[in-house]
Amino acid sequence: MLNRKNTTTNETIAVVDHEPQRKLSIARPQRLKSPGAGSSLSRLLNILELFSLERTTVSVQDVARLYGVARSTSYRLLGELCETGLLAQLGKGVYSLGPRIIELERLLQLTDPLLGAGKQVMKSMHGKARNRAILLCTRYKDRVLCIHHVGAETIAFGDEQLVIRRGRGLPLPLFEGAASLIILAHLPLHQLRSLYGANADTILAAGLGGDFPSFRRHLGKIRRKGHARTQSAVDARIVGLAVPILLGQEILGSLAAIIAGTPEEHAQEPALIALLESQAQRIAEIVSTV
């Protein structure tokens, strides 16, 4: 978590993850592959992995340097993405995300089964989201995304307002936070083995175990409990609670609540978890009928 001082009000604003952890972090994409590897399609789509909040435009030089290809190859790959509308050229050799992504976003809003079910069910949760945030999340590769949010953008704790910096579409760390951990706890064994092999150091740093058996035991405890709860070791003012959204044995995502770490809210946690469980079940039932 990061703290900064509001110079006009002397109010401390705490910038927190949607679920507390040792520090504010944004999930990073997996290491990029060279466009020379894999199929023609994968070579093009790998370029989209370059875009982030920190990198909103990409240049021909960026692609050539990061992937180790000739400038002519960079121009060709970027040009093909422009033709599809996935990129747009801003100037000579400089590119941004393109209008086709906006079109796909609208299509996703209208047709995605999990998002549609979540919106339908979460309408009824506004009354339970005063000074709370309710998040619908799903896994994407090595990250978790919030795809829908109802409730507060800030959480009051005494005289302070804690700003939740985990909005829709922002990638969340896969190994930190209740919304992520409950998804991990329900992944198949072969996927957990693969994730551990690629992220052993990150898993150790997150306190989830120094070897695969201990990692699996840690997740097994969460799975048997039926929900995940996280509270920052640095700032105990924010608590994350999450339950799985299951379609049979398949994990579709998670439904999470972000609340203040007060005694009053702690007393309400069992009721809130029960609410999350019932609503997660409703979401799964709606998805199953699509």
Q: Are 221 and 229 in contact (CB under 8 A)?
A: no
Q: Are 245 and 284 in contact (CB under 8 A)?
A: yes
> Does residue 156 share a domain with residue 17?
yes
pLDDT digits (tens, 9 = 90+) for 176-209: 999 999 999 999 999 999 999 999 999 999 999 9
Q: So what's the pLDDT on residue 166?
A: 65
Residue 45's domain comprises: 40-100
pLDDT (mean) for 143-171: 85
> Does residue 204 share a domain with residue 135?
yes
Considering 100, 126, 147, which residue would you say is the last residue of a domain?
Answer: 100
Which position has the higher pLDDT, 7 or 159? 159
Which position has the higher pLDDT, 191 or 164? 191
Residue 137: burial class (beta carbons within 10 Å; 0-12, 13-18, 19+): buried
Residue type, 150: V
> Does residue 144 share a domain with residue 19?
yes
> Does residue 249 share a domain with residue 192?
yes
Q: Which of 105, 100, 166 is nearest to 135 (CA)?
A: 166
Considering 74, 100, 126, which residue would you say is the last residue of a domain?
Answer: 100
Whether the pLDDT of residue 281 is over 80: the answer is: yes
> Does residue 194 share a domain with residue 273?
yes
Cα–Cα separations (whole angstroms), residue 16 to 38, 132, 194, 214: 38, 13, 29, 28
> Does residue 240 share a domain with residue 142?
yes
The answer as to whether 276 is a domain residue is yes
pLDDT digits (tens, 9 = 90+) for 114-131: 999 999 999 999 999 999
Q: Which of 173, 240, 171 is nearest to 205 (CA)?
A: 173
> Does residue 64 share a domain with residue 15?
no
List CB contacts of 55: < 8 A, sequence separation 6 or more. 62
Whether the pLDDT of residue 40 is over 90: the answer is: no
CATH of the domain at 164: 3.30.450.40
Q: So what's the pLDDT on residue 234?
A: 56
pLDDT (mean) for 172-178: 90
Q: So what's the pLDDT on residue 145?
A: 92
- Tell how far CA 17 is from the center of its chain: 10
Considering 48, 71, 100, which residue would you say is the last residue of a domain?
Answer: 100
The answer as to whether 33 is a domain residue is no
> Does residue 82 share a domain with residue 171?
no
270 band by pLDDT with thresholds 50, 70 and 90? very high
The total number of structural domains that make up the chain: 2
> Does residue 185 share a domain with residue 88?
no
Residue 139: burial class (beta carbons within 10 Å; 0-12, 13-18, 19+): buried
Q: What value does the mean pLDDT of the chain take? A: 85
Whether the pLDDT of residue 4 is over 60: the answer is: no
Q: In whole angstroms, give the CA distance from residue 218 to residue 282.
A: 28
> Does residue 284 share a domain with residue 155?
yes
pLDDT (mean) for 200-219: 96
> Does residue 122 share a domain with residue 82?
no
Whether the pLDDT of residue 12 is over 50: the answer is: no
